[in-house]
Amino acid sequence: MGWFNKEFVNPGKVNHKLWDIYSQSYKNRQESDYLDFVEYSKEEIEQSYSGML
């Protein structure tokens, strides 16, 4: 993620808003992989997708 950010996001080759979505998705996936129980509220899900609409 660090390399991608350095090479593509910072120089402006990838929209920063898309980076935010990817970064949050990665964080959520890490939580769900390593914690016993993870629940997301409807509002959290809608907020994650609002950047894509």
User: 3-class secondary structure for 6-18?
Assistant: HHHHCCCCCCHHH
What was the pLDDT predicted at 17?
A: 86
Prediction pTM value: 0.61
Q: Using alpha carbons only, give the angle 42, 33, 31 rounded to the nearest 5 degrees.
A: 55
Token reading at 10:
């910072």
Integer Cα distance of 51 and 53 in angstroms: 6
Buried b (16+ CB within 10 A) or exposed e, 6-42: eeebeeeeeeeeebeeeeeeeeeeeeeeeeeeeeeee
1-53: per-residue pLDDT in tens? 889 999 999 999 999 888 888 888 888 888 888 878 878 888 887 877 776 65
